[in-house]
Amino acid sequence: MKYYILFGPPGAGKGTQAKFIAEKYNLLHISTGDLLRKEMAAGTPLGLQAKQLIDGGNLVPDEVVVGMIKNTFALNKDVSGFLLDGFPRTIAQAQKLDEMLAENGEKVDKVLSLAIKDETIFERIAKRAQIEGRKDDADPKTIQNRIDTYHEKTEPLIEYYKEKGNYCEIPGEQTIEEVFSDICRTIG
């Protein structure tokens, strides 16, 4: 199995690129955001808890996210690998992922990081809110909180994966096609 992480701030284009990558390389795209939205739409206790946290621009607890990821790995053996989108978001989650994969003698193959400026994040998220009707994308305070949370909690992962030698930065402000082309060159 191959394990890739698609990394970047909210609005970097991870969801768009993930569809292309998953199709080209026969990977299961695992978006923690999609998994959580599914739970919220179903009105499960987890979904209700997640909705309250997400609406405030906060992250869902690690044990919940890690459990969902582990279950998804276990239930999907007919793919060439997995593309994680939105996970890990913290060093603690990255360490849990490493431990989970090491249990089966596996590791993260590459971290594909889409780099964009904060101003671009605001523009893209506001546009996405209009197109997709996502309420969690409409409030400027929520957007700013998500950006601040990304810088504070998620950016430290850059050094974590650089030290492991599997971090690859992709300029995310290019066209969709150019970003995908860079990603394909990086995956090889």
**Active-site positions?**
14, 89, 128, 134, 146
| Nearest Cα to Cα of residue 1 among 103, 90, 120 | 103
| Nearest Cα to Cα of residue 8 among 115, 159, 128 | 115
What is the C-alpha to C-alpha distance for residues 74 and 72, in angstroms, rounded to an integer? 5
Contact by Cβ (8 Å): 114, 172: yes
Q: What are phi and psi of 59, to 5 degrees?
A: -90, 150
